[in-house]
Amino acid sequence: MILKKDAENSFEAVSKGQPKPRLTAGQQSLLDTLQHQPQPLSAQALYGVMRRQQPIGLATIYRALETLKLLGLVQHRVTLTGETLYSAVEHDHHYLTCLQCGVSVPLETCPVQELAAQLQGTSSFRIYYHTLEFFGVCEGCEG
């Protein structure tokens, strides 16, 4: 996927002709940070990253992430340890995870893109993102 670098507000790219929400400085800053991350991050990790550029309270980060999710700008996934990781919706990656040691290997392709577009028309939902993950046991953990 091609991203316009440093769009002043990437909302345009996602929502077309919908009620336009104004992001606060903090939300915008958080979104920018997220869009520049190569990996999904937890709320607490984001708290640490923002700390150096634009300090934002942890509670506010959780609230902002929720808001951005509802706007279709941010997506989430939950790790085996129970922490939620966030990333920009443009970040469409999936993993193969070992149930034993927890190691995650990224997949190269996303076989769901088509179905997502198809569902978009079929269902009455407006679809923002999806999660796809495979679980099993890695070679090293083979018992």
Partner DNA sequence: TTGCAATATGATAATGATTATCATTCCAAT
Partner DNA sequence: ATTGGAATGATAATCATTATCATATTGCAA
Does 130 count as an annotated binding residue?
A: yes
Strands 84-88 and 95-98: unpaired
Task: Check if the beta carbon of residue 26 is closer than 8 Å to that of residue 34.
Answer: no
Q: 30: closest CA among 15, 47, 13, 11? A: 47
- The one segment of 65-73, 107-115, 120-128, 133-141 that binds Zn ion by CB under 5 A: 133-141
Which CB atom, from 48 or from 136, has the smaller least distance to DNA? 48
Min. distance of Cβ 118 from DNA in angstroms?
A: 30
Does 138 count as an annotated binding residue?
A: yes
- Crossing angle between the packed helical segments 43-53 and 58-70, to the nearest 10 degrees: 110
Does 110 count as an annotated binding residue?
A: no
Among 13, 59, 101, 137, binds its own copies (CB under 8 A): 137
Min. distance of Cβ 80 from DNA in angstroms?
A: 8
- Crossing angle between the packed helical segments 25-35 and 58-70, to the nearest 10 degrees: 80
Binding site membership: which residues? Answer: 98, 101, 130, 138, 141
